[in-house]
A and B are shown apart, each in its own frame.
Chain A
Amino acid sequence: MKTITVYGPGCMKCQKAEANVRQILAETGIEANIEHVTDMQAIVAAGVMSTPAVAVDGVVKFKGRVPNLDELRQVIAG
């Protein structure tokens, strides 16, 4: 099962990123764990300096912006 991690201190864009991830999972029926990391040390330890960031199975795919649905579909389902 895939693990999708959203990094962000809880700002609105970070919530939006998580919502988009959920929408794609619901749409494609893919089962995945969603983590939302808000701890600063953990965010930096993942190599993320601008939030929100989205990682799939530990690989950061997007950072500093909210990925749109098509982009997420590509990295999650593709």
Chain B
Amino acid sequence: MSKKQESSCCGPAIPVQIEPRKATQTEPAACCCAATPAPITIVAPLAPTSACGCAPGPPLQVESVTMSSTAGSARRLVLGLAGALGAWILLYASLHALASWLTYDLLGLTRGRALTEAVAFFIYDAPKVLLLLTLAVFGIGIVRSFFTAERARRILTGKRETAGNVFAALLGTVTPFCSCSAVPLFIGFVTAGVPLGVTFSFLVSAPMVNEVALALLYGLFGWRVAAIYLGTGLAIAIVAGWTIGRLHMERDVEEWVYRVNLGEAAEEEQLDWPGRLRFGLQAVRDIVGKVWVYVLLGIGVGAWIHGYVPENFLASIMGREAWWSVPLAVLIGIPMYSSAAGMIPVVQALLGKGAALGTVLAFMMAVIGLSFPEMVILRKVLKPRLIATFTVVVGVGILIVGYLFNVLAIHAMVVTTALQ
């Protein structure tokens, strides 16, 4: 029998019934959340990770829905969802009119004042972003119900390296993933014969290309920023994995990993369509239920900046001309850990005050893509040299992306879009 853990997160390992074949690590059970306080130097609150429940947060609600369903409940579900979708479209389409009615008629604010600008921004953007987020999380939840770690492994086994890197990066974005499972997933991939570099492409893209970030960036800064984030995130995952593959660092994986006797993959859970729809709804409950506070906070910060702070406040220190700002953003961002949703207030604040897009994007990717707790987890299976290589390769990738966008001067275009 196991003892009940005090800590909601990882804490010391629970006594295990099954004898480990070998004491591999002496360090305490690694954790996907910042059990040991990660050096966090940021002013904005950091959100619990959204995609997985590793970080302490509100307890998950126990749902009383079943995944298998009867015909009657399936019909009700589909009708309910169709109704919800209709309401969504109606609401989204009339958002602009509704928001201006609320601001100018109901609240009676005078146009052109700073307070009015801030309030109008919030009243319009908050529901817009929450609507987009809900739809995106639901849609991606359904997409994810088609993918499992086992399926990803099956697709990647036997793929050649370069093509494998591309597939792995793409699969990393759609496969449900929690950094708690990074180690079993790593072992499962490597022992099944997925090349090391290909495995890394998956491990880089899974946390870094995040659906919540994608939806929020689209909602707040337009499709260009969202597309840039998606494209560069995938590119970094592909190139970083490919590079690690070229370095032939198989010896820097802990030897015991190769000796693990891979169990027969557990049977796949078969979901029918009502099951997939419920999977999507569950994702909405889990993710939107957890991150909406940070979203509102982010938009609140954005609204305040919109109304009160001079536009180019940060331009001199984080603008395109400050060449050192990108490496500094990456260096600060690597040890930090936050979910994508927690980053949005920061991104909003930095961009709104005149920081360059490349710098901000680099900072965000470094925070969500690389983190100290993740390295502690990966230390179980990787030797320090490989962890260092992984960090440096991904860090350099992020750096290049940061500079690229600062040089391309996309900032001006983006801010115009965002502030319209």
Instruction: Give A residues with C-beta under 8 Å from B.
Output: 8-16, 18, 20, 33-51, 53, 55, 59-60, 62-66, 68-71, 74
Contacts and interface: CB of A to CB of B under 8 A. Distances in A.
A41 B20 contact: yes
Chain A CB within 10 Å — which of B62, B191, B261, B262 has the most? B62
Q: Is the interface of B mostly helix, strand, loop or mixed?
A: loop
Chain B CB within 10 Å — which of A34, A64, A68 has the most? A64
A49 B149 contact: yes
26 contacts: A9-B30, A9-B183, A10-B13, A10-B14, A12-B9, A18-B2, A37-B18, A42-B18, A44-B187, A44-B260, A45-B260, A45-B261, A47-B264, A48-B184, A49-B189, A50-B149, A51-B178, A62-B269, A64-B148, A64-B176, A64-B178, A65-B176, A68-B62, A68-B63, A69-B64, A71-B66
A9 B183 CA distance: 9
B181 A49 contact: yes
A50 B177 contact: yes
A12 B153 contact: no
Ranked 5 nearest A-B pairs via Cβ: A47-B263, A60-B266, A11-B180, A49-B188, A36-B2
Given A39-B16, A64-B149, A66-B60, A9 B180 contact: yes
A46 to B, nearest CB: 5
Contact of B184 (A36, A50, A59): A50
Nearest to B179: A11
Contact of A44 (B33, B262, B269): B262
A12 B288 CA distance: 18
A18 to B, nearest CB: 7
A69 B52 contact: no
Given A12-B53, A47-B265, A47-B266, A39 B180 contact: no
Contacts of B264: 47
Given A44-B187, A64-B181, A74-B66, 20 more contacts: A9-B184, A11-B31, A11-B33, A12-B9, A18-B2, A34-B2, A40-B24, A41-B20, A41-B187, A41-B256, A42-B16, A46-B263, A47-B264, A48-B266, A49-B265, A53-B266, A60-B267, A64-B178, A65-B176, A68-B66
Given A12-B9, A41-B256, A69 B62 contact: yes
B17 interface: yes
Nearest to A36: B2
Contacts of B11: 10
Given A10-B14, A40-B187, A71-B67, A50 B181 contact: yes
Contact of B263 (A34, A45, A51): A45
Contacts of B180: 8-9, 11, 13-14, 51
